[in-house]
């Protein structure tokens, strides 16, 4: 689609349908669509154009303006194409969807219409992506106009990550292997630290489905009246009580500076591995590592979580300098 430019070249088809729909709240004064057929159109383009014309014809008056030089395409300035889709139960879905929509004069993508789909469950993911898109609107004779376009969404089943990079955990200087395409965030407060590595972007406090979160707590005796060991054991009991199913528990293992136990559970359709640590030799430190995803995706990502489980929380050399 030429309106998206090089950022998403060949993934969009724009028909230059300059639109105003009288029946909607965002309508302009007229309800006209100017259809400017693209140059060098392929057979697929022609078919999608025909379907787009059909789904909007009951709401719009269509006027053809073949390659009018007074028309300027809209340009996508925010948003992208999702690569994966999940069912309500968290199962990965595969297939494709063609969606027609209208770009408004204020740059939103609205009025989505499914032209083709291989799986109805994919439609929601496509619509959710459209809701996040923002455009510099099309212009006709220098005036912002509404434009209809169509975009294909293609979804593939995601395999376990194969490429990892070393992620530094600040401010402690720790290290963990992060899947190259996954996201990293951190959030700390006095005596408590939190690091999150997730498949989904958590910017803006968004939730994630698949990832690892590490939390470290210091000064527990003063804050809770408990030793670090008792804090961890109480946490383990609370997770078992809330679990739908407990798959396994690990016995205490002395790792030198810390002692580790683990619990693997099912909670609300999610499969979670808790790796729990407390400081040895009366070190007042507790660490909780939570690796999880949906039950359906556990087999896909369990090896990834095992690799990420070999993290180093503190760079001792940094603090010895």
What CATH number did the domain enclosing 63 receive?
A: 3.30.2420.10
Same domain, 131 and 171: no
Residues 119, 120, 121, 126, CA torsion sign: positive
Same domain, 125 and 190: no
Same domain, 151 and 168: no
Per DSSP bridges, beta strands 183-189 and 312-314 are unpaired
Same domain, 174 and 274: yes
Res 270: pLDDT: 93
Using CA atoms, how far apart are residues 210 and 288, in angstroms rounded to an integer? 17
Domain boundary among 155, 175, 197: 155
Same domain, 287 and 222: yes
Neighbouring C-alpha atoms within 13 Å toward the C-beta of 109: 28
Same domain, 134 and 188: no
Same domain, 266 and 169: yes
Q: In a 3-state reduction of DSSP, which class is residue 246?
A: strand
Give bridge partners of residue 116 from the DSSP assignment: 98
User: DSSP alpha helices (H): ranges in 180-243?
Assistant: 220-224, 228-242
Q: What is the CATH number of the domain that holds 281?
A: 3.40.1000.10
Res 57: pLDDT: 86
How many domains would you assign to the chain? 2
* Omega of the bond leading into 171 within 30 degrees of 0 (cis): yes
Same domain, 149 and 224: no
Res 107: pLDDT: 93
Listed in order, strand segments (DSSP E) in 143-182 are 143-155, 164-169, 173-179
Same domain, 111 and 177: no
Same domain, 42 and 96: yes
Same domain, 148 and 169: no
Same domain, 74 and 144: yes
Tokens encoding 17: 């349908």
Domain boundary among 155, 175, 191: 155
Res 146: pLDDT: 85
pTM: 0.63
User: DSSP alpha helices (H): ranges in the chain?
Assistant: 43-56, 122-132, 220-224, 228-242, 298-308, 316-320
Domain boundary among 106, 136, 155: 155
Owning domain of residue 242: 164-320
Which residue ranges of the chain lie beneath pLDDT 50?
1-10, 19-30
């Amino acid at each position: 689609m030429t309106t998206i430019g090089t950022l998403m070249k060949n993934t969009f088809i724009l028909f230059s349908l300059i639109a105003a729909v009288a029946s909607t709240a965002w309508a302009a004064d007229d309800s006209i669509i100017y259809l400017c057929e693209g140059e060098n159109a392929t057979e697929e383009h022609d078919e999608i154009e025909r379907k787009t014309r059909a789904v909007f014809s009951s709401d719009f008056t269509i006027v053809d303006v073949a390659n009018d030089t007074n028309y300027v395409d809209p340009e996508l300035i925010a948003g992208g194409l999702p690569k994966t889709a999940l069912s309500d139960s968290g199962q990965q879905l595969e297939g494709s969807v063609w969606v027609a929509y209208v770009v408004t004069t204020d740059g939103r993508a609205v009025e989505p219409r499914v032209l083709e789909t291989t799986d109805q469950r994919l439609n929601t993911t496509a619509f959710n992506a459209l809701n996040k898109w923002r455009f510099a609107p099309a212009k006709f004779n220098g005036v912002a106009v509404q434009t209809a376009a169509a975009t294909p969404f293609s979804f593939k089943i995601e395999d376990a990550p194969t490429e990892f990079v070393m992620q530094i955990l600040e401010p402690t200087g720790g290290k963990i292997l992060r899947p190259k395409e996954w996201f990293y965030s951190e959030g700390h407060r006095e005596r408590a630290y939190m690091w999150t590595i997730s498949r989904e972007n958590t910017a803006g406090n968004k939730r994630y489905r698949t990832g690892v979160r590490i939390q470290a707590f210091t000064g527990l005796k003063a804050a809770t009246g408990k030793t670090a060991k008792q804090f961890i054991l109480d946490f383990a009991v609370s997770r078992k009580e809330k679990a739908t199913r407990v798959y396994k528990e690990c016995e205490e293992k002395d790792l030198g500076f810390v002692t580790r136990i683990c619990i693997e559970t099912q909670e609300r359709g999610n499969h979670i591995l808790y790796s729990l640590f407390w400081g040895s030799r009366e070190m007042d430190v507790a660490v909780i590592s939570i690796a999880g995803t949906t039950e359906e995706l556990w087999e896909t990502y369990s090896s990834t979580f095992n690799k990420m489980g070999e993290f180093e929380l503190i760079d001792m050399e940094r603090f010895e300098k």
